[in-house]
Amino acid sequence: MSFKYTIEETQLEGVKVFTPDKFTDYRGTMWTYWEKDMDTPPHKISKFTHSRKNVLRGLHGDNETWKHITCVYGAFYLVVVDYREDSPTYLQWVSFTLDDKNCKSVLVPPGFLNGHLCLSDECVFHYTQSYPNEYVDWKDQISVKWNDPMLKINWPIDNPILSERDK
C-alpha cells in the first residue's frame, strides 16, 4: 500500500509541513511519516519526548541538525524560529498545532530553533535528526528563552512548566 502526502512551504525558507494521506477503517488509521523519496535528509536518530499538559520545551537548535517533527499522541503547539543572522527572515517565527489526528509533520533545517508546548493532558513529540558529522550535544546547542521579548512569540500560555535549562 502506497501513501502520498502534500508538502506546504512556509514563510521561512526550508521549513516545510508534510500532510499525509491517511487510510482509515474500522481498525484505526495508518499513514506514512517518512520515506526515502521525501524531500528530507536521511535520518540518523529517532527520539521521543513525553510531556504533560503545559510543559514547554525550548527554544533549542544548532547550525548542523535537521529535525523532522510529528505528534504521535495528544497535541502540542510547535514554534520554529529562524535564527540565521544572515537570513532575511532572521528572528521571524511560524507556529503549528500538531496532533495525533492531523498527523502532520514539520521539517526544521539547521540554523532554526524550535520549541513546543503540550496542549493535551499528555503528548508524545517524535522527531528524527540528520546531521553531517557528530550529534550536537544539548550542552552545545543554542538555547533562547521561550518568551524572549525580541521574538514576540504568541504562546497560548503565560506560565508554562519549564526545565531549569529553559527558565
Q: Nearest CA to 115 among 86, 62, 79?
A: 79
Mean local confidence (pLDDT), 122-144: 87
Q: Is 127 marked active-site?
A: yes
Q: Which CATH class is domain 5-143?
A: mainly beta
Q: Is 83 marked active-site?
A: no
For 85-109, the pLDDT digits (tens) are 999 999 999 999 999 999 999 999 9
Q: Of 60, 73, 126, 131, which is the active-site residue?
A: 60
Separation CA 58–CA 105 (nearest Å): 18
pTM: 0.92
At residue 166, does pLDDT exceed 80? yes
Burial label, 140 (beta-carbon count in 10 A; 0-12, 13-18, 19+): exposed
User: For residue 44, what is its C-alpha cell?
Assistant: 540518523
Give the HSE-up count for residue 36: Cα atoms under 13 Å, Cβ half-sphere.
0
At residue 36, does pLDDT exceed 90? no
Mean local confidence (pLDDT), 127-133: 89
